């Protein structure tokens, strides 16, 4: 049995006219003799509207009912797609997470899929039916509805592909694939035909919005190839696959960036064993993600200046947590919200010397000052003044000839 999983994003199912077009995409795979499992997101804007309604009720809306509420958007799109397919003469029905069932673990709004029961859907596929399975949701061990976090339908599709041993997992969205950088920022950005899980994971983590990082990680761990393509144009997309499947002479595959960063500096921290853990413990407890970290020790070894970056929306909360932290002593705290991060990504830099020099030299020639540096095996990130962001992205995109 040849199975394909098709995921459609919120823009792709954003109106009844678009749902009719999506139905034709689905039936094109049926005509190619595939058994099709569909995982749609909620229609564009619906989830945001549901979140707004919850905030009108309470700023501290109870978590389990919040998941019941926000998961209802997928129910609507599932029903509309199934109805459209039936109108076209195909057998189709919607399946909500609890009906499959899709079992999850972890807290509300951030659950992960643990197991998907196959029996009923396999029987339906064999009977010629097209199951439309609600993405973004499942049920926990207490039979309560859970959601997988924003962008979670990607994860739903990937896990459906895993449990049903699908030949393909295709993510239909409003862009034609993954680009070397944001095409809205750089007009010469080029679509990448094939990219590794590792490169895509870095790009997603560093600002590329095509897919959520945890979805890429799920695909990587389960070795599920993902094809990202547009639901609006009949054109090839981007294949996300394992590294050994890629033949490319590109050292750098993409330039990613984020705009919503803030830099926190603690000046004159009394240095002692465990002080860094004491600083970051309350941030961890409050689910504040820390990114770049730099520590400078004074000449006498008694004090240190510690700098790290977070999302700008967490800056006020972070400052309050640090000021009331009785486990640490420091002279002052500096918060800078006018910074951005730019990163170059590519597995080619593992074996190619001089990449760091080329990046820093290109920025220096245009008088762009680097504030903080962070590296991994396949990426180099720099923090800089936000006013230099677009110029830096342009310079690096050109330096590594990504428009070619």
pTM, entire model: 0.83
CATH topology of domain 255-399: VC0802-like (3.30.2130)
The reported pLDDT for the residue numbered 247 is 67
Percent of the chain with pLDDT over 90: 74
Q: Chain-wide mean pLDDT for the chain?
A: 92
Higher-scoring residue by pLDDT: 230, 250: 230
Least Cα distance to 70 among 146, 142, 139 occurs for 146
* CATH 3.30.2130.10 residue ranges for the chain: 255-399
pLDDT band at 183 (very low <50, low <70, confident <90, very high): confident
Helix 152-163 to helix 213-222 angle, to the nearest 10 degrees? 10
pLDDT at site 83: 98
**pLDDT surpassing 70 at residue 208:** no
Residue 259, pLDDT score = 87
At 234, the pLDDT band (50, 70, 90 cuts) reads confident
Find out if CATH 3.40.1160.10 is the number for domain 3-174: yes
With a CB cutoff of 8 Å and minimum separation 6, the contacts of 132 are 38, 40, 78, 79, 81, 82, 85, 92, 93, 94, 95
Q: Averaged over 96-120, what is the pLDDT?
A: 95
Higher pLDDT, 202 or 228: 228
- Flag whether pLDDT at 216 surpasses 70: yes
Q: What is the pLDDT of residues 238-266, one digit of tens each?
A: 999 987 767 667 889 999 998 889 999 99
The string over 8-34, giving b where at least 16 C-beta atoms fall within 10 Å of a residue's C-beta and e elsewhere, is bbbbbbbeeebbeebbebbbebeeeeb
Sign of CA dihedral 334, 335, 338, 339: positive
Residue 351 binned pLDDT confidence (cut-offs 50, 70, 90): confident
Peptide bond preceding 133 in cis form (omega within 30 of 0): no
Q: Considering the chain, tell me which residue range(s) the CATH 3.40.1160.10 domain(s) occupy.
A: 3-174
Residue 355 sits at the vertex; the CA angle it makes with 352 and 357, to the nearest 5 degrees, is 135
User: Between these two residues, 296 and 109, which has the higher pLDDT value?
Assistant: 109
């Amino acid at each position: 049995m040849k199975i394909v999983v098709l995921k459609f994003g919120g823009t792709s199912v954003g109106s009844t006219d678009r749902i009719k077009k999506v139905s034709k995409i689905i039936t094109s795979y049926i005509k190619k003799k595939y058994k099709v499992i569909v995982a749609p997101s909620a229609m564009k804007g619906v989830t945001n509207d549901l979140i707004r309604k919850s905030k009108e009720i309470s700023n501290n809306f109870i978590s389990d009912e919040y998941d019941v509420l926000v998961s209802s958007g997928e129910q609507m799109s599932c029903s509309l797609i199934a109805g459209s397919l039936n109108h076209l003469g195909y057998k189709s029905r919607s399946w909500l997470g609890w009906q499959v069932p899709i079992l999850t673990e972890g807290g509300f709004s951030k659950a992960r899929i643990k197991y998907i029961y196959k029996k009923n859907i396999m029987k339906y596929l064999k009977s010629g039916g097209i199951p439309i399975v609600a993405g973004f949701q499942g049920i926990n061990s207490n039979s309560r509805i859970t959601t997988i976090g924003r962008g979670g339908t990607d994860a739903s599709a990937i896990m459906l592909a895993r449990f049903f041993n699908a030949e393909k997992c295709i993510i239909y969205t409003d862009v034609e694939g993954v680009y070397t950088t944001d095409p809205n920022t750089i007009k010469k950005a080029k679509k990448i035909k094939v990219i590794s899980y590792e490169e895509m994971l870095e790009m997603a983590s560093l600002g590329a919005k095509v897919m959520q990082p945890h979805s890429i990680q799920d695909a990587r761990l389960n070795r599920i190839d993902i094809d990202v393509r547009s639901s609006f144009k009949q054109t090839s997309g981007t294949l996300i696959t394992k590294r050994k499947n890629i033949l490319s002479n590109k050292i750098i595959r993409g330039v990613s960036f984020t705009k919503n960063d803030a830099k926190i500096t603690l000046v004159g921290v009394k240095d002692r064993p465990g002080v860094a853990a004491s600083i970051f413990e309350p941030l961890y407890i409050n689910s504040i993600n820390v990114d770049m970290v730099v520590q400078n020790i004074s000449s006498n070894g008694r004090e240190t200046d510690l700098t790290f970056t977070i999302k700008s929306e967490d800056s006020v909360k972070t400052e309050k947590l640090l000021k009331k932290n009785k486990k640490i002593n420091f002279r002052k705290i500096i918060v800078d919200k006018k910074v951005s991060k730019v990163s170059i990504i590519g597995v080619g830099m593992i074996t190619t010397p001089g990449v760091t020099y080329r990046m820093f030299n290109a920025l220096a020639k245009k008088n762009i000052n680097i504030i903080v540096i962070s590296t991994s095996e396949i990426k180099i990130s720099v923090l800089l003044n936000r006013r230099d962001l677009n110029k830096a992205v342009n310079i690096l995109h050109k330096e590594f000839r990504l428009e070619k």
